[in-house]
């Protein structure tokens, strides 16, 4: 049996990096009072149709939908924001306080062509600042993304930002852009031709060279922005300048989800390939009201964990082997005595492993070395009879005999020595 195409197992030797990213995110976000939230992977299909947009690639091509035994139309969530908004509304979080700062990490599902760093089951880490229309909120979420990347020692990136205005401004622009592109319809790439009527703005993001040449003389979205949109964007830029976060204004950046307004941004690695976006987000002031909640402005972003791991796994030097004590048992007849030792070790919270093979001592020591354990506790008949443990330091080969009565004091020394 093999896993289905587009999904993969995350093995124990990989989990340590996943857990490291989770712990680091929790530390960074908690400092700014962002709290973790976990939502179901199953949602009503209508949620994503109403939030992401009927004409987006996600809804039209990529969602995993099925009818359950209760004849309900169900979807495996393709992104995190819609589920967070649904949870905000259904749990009436708006009655508790005005602003909610939330973060999440979990699996998402899209039927895409699997490639390096992109699977059909993938994982997103994201934050949502719900309840503030202040440009400072936009700056805070961008700053936290940058801070997380820096904490992961990922320093070669570009922040691109744009103002996509409100829905009215964007609608006017979309009409003008469509009129312009219709004159070149036959020269556009196939995807752009398909998007011309229903998802016109996504053409701006086309990677096709000929389409990009056509777009050079196309109307600019910035020419359709009114004073409120311009001031909001300028305030964000002023704050980013003040806190010394470098950015590039990309007037073709629109993002692929219908719910965005005002701010859109992406963080890209400085790599010469098409899949170099590691973080994307923006403001979505109308989405909560659109889904039946109160008028609640919000802003957030998401990072693809698989792609992030590809970038940081060689940068971060994380030790996979954290076993301090390997317990070798030489006599099956007295093996029950090991539990007395284990009980004391657990009290001091020092990582250990019991050898379950009851092989010859040399084989057990070889296994301890393979696991990069620091020391080996040897329990044989003479040790049990005389109430001590033979301790072998695997790197120096120094050997000691420690009375079991003195074991707590010795473990305290080990804990300090290995800084566990």
Is 307 annotated to bind a ligand? Reply is: no
Is 259 annotated to bind a ligand? Reply is: yes
In terms of C-beta density within 10 A (0-12 exposed, 13-18 middle, 19 or more buried), how is residue 41 classed?
A: middle
Q: Is 239 left (phi over 0), alpha (psi -120 to 50) or beta?
A: alpha
- What does DSSP assign to residue 219? P
C-beta separation of 1 from 7 below 8 A: no
Output the DSSP codes for 228-265: HHHHHHHHHHHHHHHTT---EE-TT---S-TT-EEEEE
C-beta separation of 138 from 283 below 8 A: yes
Query: CA torsion angle for 405, 409, 415, 417 (degrees, to 10)?
Result: -120
Is 35 annotated to bind a ligand? Reply is: no
Mapping DSSP to helix (H, G, I), strand (E, B) and coil, where does residue 177 land? helix
Tokens of 273: 């390939």
Strand partners, 328: 378
C-beta separation of 104 from 148 below 8 A: no
Distance CA 282, CA 253 (A): 11
Is 110 annotated to bind a ligand? Reply is: yes
Q: Around Cβ 131, how many Cβ atoms within 10 Å? A: 20
Write the CA distances from 195 to 78, 95, 112, 215, integer angstroms: 20, 40, 18, 14
Distance CA 122, CA 349 (A): 34
Q: Around Cβ 346, how many Cβ atoms within 10 Å? A: 10
Distance CA 217, CA 181 (A): 10
Distance CA 94, CA 296 (A): 9
Is 79 annotated to bind a ligand? Reply is: yes
The Cα angle at residue 285 between residues 279 and 289, in degrees rounded to 5 = 125
Distance CA 116, CA 307 (A): 8
Is 255 annotated to bind a ligand? Reply is: yes
Is 173 annotated to bind a ligand? Reply is: no
Is 80 annotated to bind a ligand? Reply is: yes
> Which parts are annotated binding residues for L-histidine?
79-81, 110, 124, 128, 255, 259-260
**Could you tell me which residues are annotated as the binding site?**
79-81, 110, 124, 128, 255, 259-260
């Amino acid at each position: 049996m093999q896993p289905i195409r587009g999904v993969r197992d995350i093995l124990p030797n990989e989990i340590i990096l996943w857990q490291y990213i989770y712990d680091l995110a929790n530390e960074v976000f908690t400092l700014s009072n962002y709290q973790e939230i976990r939502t179901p992977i199953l949602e009503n299909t209508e949620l994503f149709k109403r939030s992401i947009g009927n004409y987006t690639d996600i809804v039209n091509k990529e969602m995993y939908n099925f009818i359950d035994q209760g004849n309900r139309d169900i979807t495996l969530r393709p992104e995190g924001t819609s589920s967070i908004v649904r949870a905000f509304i259904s749990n009436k979080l708006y009655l508790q306080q005005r602003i909610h700062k939330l973060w999440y990490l979990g699996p998402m599902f899209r039927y895409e062509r699997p490639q390096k760093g992109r699977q059909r089951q993938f994982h997103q880490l994201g934050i949502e600042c719900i309840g503030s229309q202040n440009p400072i909120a936009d700056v805070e979420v961008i700053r936290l993304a940058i801070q997380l990347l820096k904490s992961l020692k990922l320093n070669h990136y570009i922040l691109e930002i744009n103002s996509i205005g409100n829905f009215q401004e964007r609608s006017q622009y979309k009409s003008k852009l469509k009129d312009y592109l219709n004159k070149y319809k036959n020269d556009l790439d196939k995807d752009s031709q398909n998007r011309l009527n229903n998802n016109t703005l996504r053409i701006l993001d086309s990677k096709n060279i000929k389409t990009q040449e056509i777009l050079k003389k196309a109307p600019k979205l910035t020419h359709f922005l009114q004073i409120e949109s311009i001031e909001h964007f300028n305030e964000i830029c002023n704050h980013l300048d003040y806190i010394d976060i470098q950015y590039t204004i990309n007037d073709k950046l629109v993002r692929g989800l219908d719910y965005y307004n005002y701010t859109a941004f992406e963080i890209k690695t400085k790599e010469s390939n098409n899949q170099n976006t590691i973080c994307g987000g923006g403001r979505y002031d109308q989405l909560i009201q659109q889904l039946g909640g109160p008028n609640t402005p919000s802003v957030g972003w998401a990072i693809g964990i698989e792609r992030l791991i590809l970038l940081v796994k060689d940068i971060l030097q994380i030790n996979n082997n954290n076993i301090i004590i390997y317990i070798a048992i030489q006599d099956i007849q007295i093996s029950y005595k090991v539990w007395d030792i284990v009980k004391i070790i657990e009290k001091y919270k020092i990582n250990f492993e019991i050898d379950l093979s009851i092989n010859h001592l040399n084989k057990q020591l070889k296994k301890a070395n393979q696991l990069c354990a620091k020391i080996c506790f040897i329990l044989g008949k003479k040790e049990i009879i005389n109430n001590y443990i033979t301790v072998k330091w695997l790197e120096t080969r120094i050997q000691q005999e420690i009375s079991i009565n003195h074991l707590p004091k010795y473990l305290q020394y080990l804990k300090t020595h290995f800084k566990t």
